[in-house]
């Protein structure tokens, strides 16, 4: 276990799946997510992830689901995946009542360090809904560049949520590591 700004980091195991799913859902969907600023409740209903998806990420050889705990309580998580020449960052979630207090910055920095150290990745990539202006600006302040490259939202696939808007798209963000 490692410490990053009073956070203890460890890799997720199969036993952590229910807690990870609950954390991700609480950060993005439903009324509880409105306690933080990363909510997608105005854009999407339904689930953000599920046990099968998280189990697959934990069991994959090309990535890590990182958990961040404070005093034994899960407060944040993310998924970092090794790809050819770069790493992909996703499933980034911070407990809504702790958002805005520096936890997210610490988690993002640790994920970037992990990608550099473990896989010699030279870039970190991620996708963010283009409707999330505040979140896009947050990443830009941390060195991510908007590429203008867009991807359609997977409409019709409830595993990714139930859209409330007909124009959802993701944009690729990139940061040199």
Rounded distance, CA 173 to CA 1, Å?
29
Reported as a single tens digit per residue, the pLDDT across 18-77 is: 999 999 999 999 888 899 888 899 999 999 999 999 999 999 999 999 999 999 999 999
Indicate the pairing of strand 123-129 with strand 7-11: unpaired
Domains within the chain, CATH numbers bracketed: 2-176 (3.40.630.30)
Entry pTM? 0.93
Rounded distance, CA 161 to CA 153, Å?
10
Phi, psi angle pair for 11, to nearest 5°: -80, 145
Find the angle CA(143)-CA(148)-CA(150) to the nearest 5 degrees: 115
């Amino acid at each position: 276990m490692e410490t990053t700004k009073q956070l203890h980091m460890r890799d997720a195991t199969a036993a952590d799946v229910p807690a990870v799913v609950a954390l991700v859902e609480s950060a993005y969907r439903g009324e509880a997510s409105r306690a933080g600023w990363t909510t997608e409740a105005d854009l999407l209903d339904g689930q953000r992830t599920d046990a099968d998806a998280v189990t697959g990420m934990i069991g994959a050889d090309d990535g890590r689901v990182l958990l961040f705990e404070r005093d034994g309580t899960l407060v944040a998580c993310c998924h970092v995946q090794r790809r050819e020449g770069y790493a992909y960052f996703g499933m980034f979630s911070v407990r809504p009542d702790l958002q805005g207090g520096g936890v997210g910055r610490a988690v993002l920095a640790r994920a970037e360090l992990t990608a550099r150290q473990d896989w010699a990745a030279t870039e970190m990539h991620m996708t963010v809904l283009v409707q999330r202006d505040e979140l896009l600006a947050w990443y830009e302040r941390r060195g991510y560049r908007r590429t203008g490259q867009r991807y359609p939202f997977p409409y019709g696939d409830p595993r990714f949520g139930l859209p409330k808007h007909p124009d959802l798209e993701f944009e690729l963000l990139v940061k040199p590591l």
